[in-house]
Chains A and B, each alone.
Chain A
Amino acid sequence: MKFGAQFWAGVLFRFPRLYPEWDIAVSSITPAISPSLVPVTVIGGFLGTGKTTLLNEVLSSQTGIRYAVMVNDFGSLAVDDALVKAHDGDTISFANGCVCCSLGDNLIKSIDALLERDPKPEQFLIEVSGVANPKAIADVATLHPGLRRDLIITLVDAETVMERAGDPRLADTLSMQLVPADLIVLNKCDLVGDTKLARVCSYLSDLYPSQMVRTVHSRLPVEYLSAKVLTDPLEPKLDLGKSEPATQSSHDPESQFYRCTVNLPDNMMCDQLRALLREHQSSLLRAKGFVYDEQGTLVSIQLSGNQIEVQSHFDGAGEFSGGSSKPYLVAIGLVPLDAFKQAVLANLCQ
């Protein structure tokens, strides 16, 4: 990997082994002063799905963004310190597995230490272990006065996902990773044949309403690390893995679930959608999408179980000016969703 000379201005500090448990790379480049909250993107998925490769890909893409990278999973692959340094960023390794109490404590302390750096990071990328609930880590960002939650991205290994899904020890953990995901990255698509890839795609899209992109070697464009790109459902599904588009829209006859995508009417407000979801809750497994709130800001909305969650991913509506983003909803139904879809389209909130 080659970098421009200016990227090498950083100095790598390696702290004494173990305590504190991190390696920190600090930069001497001019600070970009930003009063706003620092976005946090959490990257989940089992070990071996390509999370670390993804981080290394992002870091080598010369975006000029100052990333703080935090890693909670230790496979054979390490996040490349040199790449982190190149981005004036900091990298922190924290607890393996999910010893939750200590994990939380270490995590918050590490984040605070990074936020005190000058210049402070422009974006946090937190790689969590497969057994950690990415939502719990994203909650840390929601609660932190200096951070805002951006995305939860879950990586899935196209080759092994069906095995995991069929393993009673791991099926619920897989679901724990995928349910809160804003973006599912179906990786290693080159390792499976077309038939299997189609099967995996329809398995995932039948169960999870999140947007999905397909990749090989974790090659995900950096824009996808932020919520902005996810607000347009009409954009063709990004397929970086194979030339053949997947048959995502077709309903798998084997599946007992029904998926539908609705472009929300312009006058639909968050509270109305929330009420509609409540009303139709019994026929819905999950739903996910973007809708305008009272302030005219696009927020994400998600139904899972009997919980409806609304998340603001952006500092302000300004982020969207000029974007092609439109409010939409993807729902996974336990029954055909024609009635639900009509009610949404007509904005029929009883």
Chain B
Amino acid sequence: MTEITIFKAKKIVTMNERQPVCDHVAVRDGVILGAGKLDELTGWGEYTLDERFAEKVIFPGFIEGHCHSWEGAAWEDTFVGFLDRTSPSREVHKGLKSVDEVVAKLVDAEKELETSDEPLKGWGLDPIFFDRRVTRTDLDRVSTSRPVVVVHQSGHVINVNTHVLEKANITGDMDVDGLVKDSDGNPTGELMGIALYQSALKAVGMNSVLDMGKDKEKSLRWFAHSAQIAGVTTVTDLASELKPELLAVQADLASRDDYPIRVVPAFLGQMVPTNEGVEWITSLAGQSTDKLRLGLVKLIVDGSIQGLTARFKQPGYYNGAPNGMWYVDPMELPNIIAAYHKAGSQIHIHTNGDEATEAALDAIEAVLKQYPSSDARFTLQHCQMAHDAHFRRMAKLGVCANLFSNHLYYWGDQHYELTMGPERACRMDAANTAGKLGVHYSIHSDAPVTHLSPLFTAWCAVNRQTQSGRVLGENEKITVEQALYAITLGAAYTLKLDTELGSIECGKRADFTILEDDPLTVSPTKLKDIEVWGTVLGGRPFPVSEIVS
């Protein structure tokens, strides 16, 4: 007989409509026996009453429906982003508000390096917020003798120092796309696009921007810490090549009791010929474990809005930029979707611009006509610029949305002023419309693109406030209840995990988020500031305070 623990809380918010709130939850073998009053739970048998949460609020474990395990690896390098960010070791990194502050932080980081030639790498640079671009002269102040590389927030652009340009033999007279030059025709050190930045990284012996770091296990532990700190118990890793060596480390960690998260990796279906991808994902089908769920497939249709690479229908970008790029031929998309769909995979599709969203819906509709399915639960990831008509179609097709609400705060002002213009910026990530029109939706961070914190994401969806304080679309605000549903049961639904996760009721996994305050009673503007005590995963408490770096 295994032991029963009954947790007592100040308040338990269950997401179970029949009993929205209670104060005790009984757990055995990682599974919830029941939630309710204490005397409704004692009938399960002998128990231990655990009162450590007596003054805390318990939620179903938060689910981050779109983030990436690079969140962990990123912290091997120096963070130079514009907004404050908490590291997996709970260190708060202040946002850097000017190029000089960026350089100063890199100078400090350079002093920490052990050998004289080891490269220095920064990440999270977002010059869209600065009055000028970063140049090699800036980075030469950090070092002239070792490679200095700073990856932009977009992941598609880097800045390098003169040392790297020389090693890679990149000169102003080269005719390659994306080489930014000064008025004298010399490279400024800003390198856009794959050919340039991959060649530069290679020349100084550095790995790809998306590399999982030297120590995969450490990176994946850090990833878990980032989640735990934010009160998250289930994370997606939403574009993984699922290479055997990484998968092995992931599976090993997931088998350990002290690993505090469930991970749902999505196989990036475009990385290999479709037939091979189908073969691979099918071969993994039986290998899911309690904390590692395989089988999800991700496809990427277009780029990003702030990177001006998302695909838009007319009238296109507000600032007149040319249309973005397809990551997959829209004519081919139905074939790729059909192949994975037929194999039984659930498919999540990245679409940012409205043209990409429409192409994905056209493809899904065609596939479902040919291979009908009562519950394929396709999910459009980001789906930032969907029109009402798209949401209506999604509802009919049973397609979910996972909206990128953090964008509203991070780049909302840029969308209003540069990329989308006022009207469209005010209907970005239209959670209210999605819900009203009957679309199941969640909201996400896309960490490390923005920081991982479902309470912050909920705050964004509820307040729709930009950095400058502008409100983007009063009508698209959702209520706190709706936002909290979106980061629990809503997200579970998009992952087809709603039978197991997302609410606190008999038979579900004992995954909880433990909060110091009640999101339903604090001011909605304070949602993001609620302190997270930690989590409970399968009945085992994971206090944030015990995280060691």
Q: State yes or no: do A and B come from one complex.
A: yes
A131 to B276 Cα, complex, angstroms: 21
User: Which stretch in A3-11, A26-34, A166-174 binds the other chain?
Assistant: A166-174
Q: Which residues of B contact A263 (CB under 8 A)?
A: none
Establish whether residues A139 and B196, one from each chain, have CB atoms under 8 Å apart when the complex forms.
yes
Q: Mark B315-345, 1 if CB is under 8 A from A, else 0.
A: 0000000110111111110001000000000
Pick the contact of A169: B207, B275, B330 (CB < 8 A): B330
B43 at the interface (CB under 8 A from A): no
A350 at the interface (CB under 8 A from B): no
Pick the contact of B198: A105, A129, A131, A170 (CB < 8 A): A105
User: Which stretch in A16-24, A196-204, A276-284, A340-348 binds the other chain?
Assistant: A16-24
A231 to B434 Cα, complex, angstroms: 58
Most chain A CB inside 10 Å of its own CB: which residue of B207, B311, B325, B332: B332
B168 at the interface (CB under 8 A from A): yes
Q: Mark B268-307, 1 if CB is under 8 A from A, else 0.
A: 1111111110011000000000000000000010000000
Nearest Cβ in chain A — how far from B337, in angstroms? 12
Establish whether residues B328 and A131, one from each chain, have CB atoms under 8 Å apart when the complex forms.
yes
Establish whether residues B273 and A74, one from each chain, have CB atoms under 8 Å apart when the complex forms.
yes
A window 92-132: CB within 8 A of B: 93, 95-105, 107-108, 112, 129-131
Nearest Cβ in chain A — how far from B148, in angstroms? 19
Establish whether residues B272 and A102, one from each chain, have CB atoms under 8 Å apart when the complex forms.
no
Establish whether residues A131 and B208, one from each chain, have CB atoms under 8 Å apart when the complex forms.
no
Q: Provided the pairs A102-B208, A170-B330 are in contact, do residues A144 and B199 lie with their beta carbons within 8 angstroms?
A: yes
B383 at the interface (CB under 8 A from A): no
B497 at the interface (CB under 8 A from A): no
A208 at the interface (CB under 8 A from B): no
Q: Which residues of A contact B155 (CB under 8 A)?
A: 101
Nearest Cβ in chain B — how far from A104, in angstroms? 3
Identify the closest chain B residue to A96 (Cβ).
B270
Establish whether residues A18 and B328, one from each chain, have CB atoms under 8 Å apart when the complex forms.
no
B185 at the interface (CB under 8 A from A): no
Q: Which residues of B contact A96 (CB under 8 A)?
A: 269-274, 328, 336
Instruction: Describe B's contact surface by its main secondary structure.
Output: loop
A144 to B241 Cα, complex, angstroms: 26
Pick the contact of B328: A98, A144, A145, A311 (CB < 8 A): A98
Nearest Cβ in chain A — how far from B516, in angstroms? 39
Establish whether residues A140 and B329, one from each chain, have CB atoms under 8 Å apart when the complex forms.
no
B138 at the interface (CB under 8 A from A): no
A142 at the interface (CB under 8 A from B): yes
Nearest Cβ in chain A — how far from B61, in angstroms? 31
A122 to B137 Cα, complex, angstroms: 40
Nearest Cβ in chain B — how far from A301, in angstroms? 10
Q: Which residues of A contact B198 (CB under 8 A)?
A: 104-105, 107-108, 140
B134 at the interface (CB under 8 A from A): no
Q: Mark B179-212, 1 if CB is under 8 A from A, else 0.
A: 0000000000000011111110010000111100
- A-B residue pairs in contact (CB < 8 Å), sample of 21: A17-B276, A17-B280, A18-B280, A47-B331, A97-B332, A98-B325, A99-B270, A101-B208, A104-B195, A104-B198, A107-B198, A108-B202, A131-B326, A136-B194, A137-B195, A139-B178, A143-B176, A143-B195, A145-B169, A168-B313, A169-B311
Interface residues of A (CB under 8 A from B): 17-19, 21, 46-47, 74, 93, 95-105, 107-108, 112, 129-131, 133, 135-137, 139-140, 142-145, 168-170, 172-173, 309-311
Closest 4 CB pairs of A and B: A104-B194, A139-B195, A97-B328, A105-B208
**Beyond A136-B195, A137-B195: 19 further Cβ-contacts under 8 Å?**
A18-B276, A21-B272, A47-B331, A96-B269, A96-B273, A96-B274, A96-B328, A97-B270, A100-B327, A105-B210, A107-B198, A112-B202, A131-B327, A131-B329, A139-B193, A140-B195, A170-B331, A173-B329, A309-B175
Interface residues of B (CB under 8 A from A): 155-156, 168-170, 174-178, 193-199, 202, 207-210, 241, 243-244, 268-276, 279-280, 300, 311, 313-314, 322-323, 325-332, 336, 355, 359
